[in-house]
Amino acid sequence: EVQLLESGGGLVQPGGSLRLSCEASGFTFSNSAMTWVRQAPGKGLEWVSTSGGSTYYADSVKGRFTISRDNSKNTLYLQLNSLKAEDTAVYYCAKDLRRPWDAYWGQGTLVTVSS
Amino acid sequence: DIQMTQSPSSLSASVGDRVTITCRASQGISNSLVWFQQKPGKAPKSLIYAASSLQSGAPSKFSGSGSGTDFTLTISSLQPEDFATYYCQQYYSYPLTFGQGTKVEIK
């Protein structure tokens, strides 16, 4: 059974940093393109970043967020730096969003940026 | 970037109604479109991929059509468990982009 378990969310002050993790199981992690998608409170879904053969970022986070992965630990990371209030959102980890017949989403972790 | 525009942004419907939601891409995306259902506090759940293929486990009351720039999601007979927000998403190219969502509410 595929499982994606996000962690690392919490309350952080503007300008602060946070690292999110997504622990994967039930599939061959190293073969999968892994993605972070976020959803601000009461708002729609926003793609953030993907790690696959290449790495991609949304313009809104480029230069502030860094995606990485440790295939030996089956874990995806998102380093969030220089956080702004508008980064407040539930952050979802997802696999293979460009192979949607094989896609899966985690349950999300909440990041709140506030003083 | 490819912009995805859904309509309507919300709708009210009754149990048993046939409901159609549309999604338009700002440029051609072939059939690289997925439809999601999302309920409050839950992760999105895929219903349709490749514009018209039913996701494994999704009920057959959901169907999709379209290619190129114009797509539709149809719910054949709305049931209480279908009241939710629906999103389209293109996976033709990066950045992946979503429609703004359509909230389906009870009339």
pLDDT in tens, A52-65: 989 999 999 999 99
| A10 to A27, A109, B2, B69: CA distances (angstroms) | 28, 8, 32, 39
| B97 contacts on A by Cβ (under 8 Å) | 47
Cα–Cα dist B46/B34, whole Å: 7
Beta-carbon separation of B44 and A105 below 8 A? yes
Which one, of A34, A38, A103, lies nearest residue A75 by Cα? A34
Among chain B residues, CA nearest to A57: B95
What pLDDT, on a 0 to 100 scale, did the predictor assign at position B106? 87
What is the number of other CB atoms lying within 10 angstroms of the CB of residue B107?
Answer: 9
**Using a CB-CB distance cutoff of 8 angstroms, which residues of chain B are in contact with residue A46?**
98
Which chain A residues contact residue B42 at CB under 8 A? 107
Question: How many Cβ atoms sit within 10 Å of the Cβ of residue A53?
Answer: 6
Q: Contact at 8 Å (CB) between A77 and A69?
A: yes
pLDDT in tens, B29-41: 999 999 999 999 9
Task: Give me the mean pLDDT over the A33-49 stretch.
Answer: 98
Provide the b/e sequence for A69-80 (b: ≥16 CB within 10 Å). Answer: beeeebbbbbeb
List, for residues B62-80, the tens digit of each pLDDT value: 999 999 999 999 999 999 9
pLDDT band at A79 (very low <50, low <70, confident <90, very high): very high
B75, B62 Cβ separation under 8 angstroms:
yes
Closest CB to B91 among A100, A105, A107: A100
What three-state secondary structure class fits B80?
Answer: helix
